[in-house]
Amino acid sequence: MDPNPILPFAIKPLIWTPDRVFVSCSFGCPAKCVFCYLPEVAADQPTATTVTPQDLVMQIRADPRFQLGPNGTVLSLGCLTECLAPHSIKATLNFLNALGPMENPVQIATRWSPSSGDREQLIAALQCRRSAIFHSMVEWGNHVLESGTPSARHRDHFISRISASGIPSILYIKPFIPNHTERFTRAFIELALHYKIRHAVIGRFYVTSRYSDVSFLHRNQPQSARFIQAEFPVGPTPPREPSNNMAVAAMVAAFGRAGILTTHHSLDALREIYGQNNRTS
């Protein structure tokens, strides 16, 4: 039996795709969001990898798939950990500092709000390169599925400071959970307009070629099943995006009326901000 049926790759610090490398300086997350795959594959509290940040940078640069430069390989943090949580942010900052003059784009996906000191170090490390913070959320101001993450008030302070720093902020509304996430459409839009956030990524659950996350959620997190309306098939090759999901279409339309650009993919959002030539992933 597949020891890790949820993720189509091994749990390791570097995971390569054609246009980016997912970098994990630690594994695990303390939030325990009910829809997340990490509790199945990693520790509750992030633990540092055995590879130093300096070695990670050396491995990245030595890999033949790596393309150097501001239009090169995207460095994506936040796949197998909450990279800004208290137990992992030091490793994240050490990695960013180890990049030195490397100008490759940096993408950070987070549901966290770091302390003021860590926040300022993060800003300093990101301002010198093409970067963006993807503020992940499925709800706002009503912690039902993300009860282990910082409150909306604390996250609001973080988004405010990031926006003021000039680092692009992107609302990362993934996973979109039917019959739940759409209830926060107005709150999401008001948040974006208040902080002049021009881009949002709206997408479905994480899926692999063998399992849909809807079946995973019902199997492993039955207490959250009432929030899930499986409008997309559960099967060996589920569709990549919920194009037939009317709730997603309605949210996308509402964002568009407010002047907020939306996409299903984070690399597309980066490309729109920085004019990169990275392909969609």
State the average pLDDT for the chain: 80
- In contact, 279 and 18? CB cutoff 8 Å: yes
Tell me: pLDDT of 134 over 60. yes
Q: Any idea what the CATH number is for the domain that residue 180 is in?
A: 3.20.20.70
Whether residue 9 is contained in a domain is answered as no
Banded model confidence at residue 204, pLDDT cuts 50, 70, 90 = low
| The pLDDT of residue 8 | 41
Whether residue 220 is contained in a domain is answered as yes
Whether residue 259 is contained in a domain is answered as yes
Tell me: pLDDT of 27 over 80. yes
Whether residue 117 is contained in a domain is answered as yes
**Residue-wise DSSP of 218-276:** HHH-GGGGGG----S--SSS--SS-TT-HHHHHHHHHHHHTT-EEES-HHHHHHHHH--
Banded model confidence at residue 276, pLDDT cuts 50, 70, 90 = low
Q: What is the mean pLDDT of residues 114-127?
A: 96
Contact partners, residue 34, CB within 8 Å, separation at least 6 = 145, 217, 221, 223, 224
Q: DSSP character for 183?
A: G
Whether residue 65 is contained in a domain is answered as yes
Tens of pLDDT, residues 28-53: 888 888 877 777 666 666 677 788 88
Banded model confidence at residue 11, pLDDT cuts 50, 70, 90 = low
Q: What is the mean pLDDT of residues 71-80?
A: 92
Provide the number of structural domains found in the chain: 1
Q: Which residues pair with 272 in a beta bridge?
A: none
pTM of the model: 0.83
Q: What is the mean pLDDT of residues 256-277?
A: 88
Q: Which residue range is the domain that position 72 belongs to?
A: 14-274
Percent of the chain with pLDDT over 70: 76
Whether residue 147 is contained in a domain is answered as yes
Banded model confidence at residue 174, pLDDT cuts 50, 70, 90 = confident
Whether residue 60 is contained in a domain is answered as yes
Tens of pLDDT, residues 151-164: 888 899 999 999 99
Q: What is the mean pLDDT of residues 225-247?
A: 42
Whether residue 132 is contained in a domain is answered as yes
| The pLDDT of residue 79 | 82
CB-CB neighbours of 9 under 10 Å: 13
Between 245 and 103, the more confident residue is 103
Contact partners, residue 264, CB within 8 Å, separation at least 6 = 201, 202, 203, 204, 241
Q: What is the mean pLDDT of residues 69-75?
A: 94
* Max mean pLDDT range (60-64, 239-243, 272-276): 60-64
- In contact, 204 and 252? CB cutoff 8 Å: no
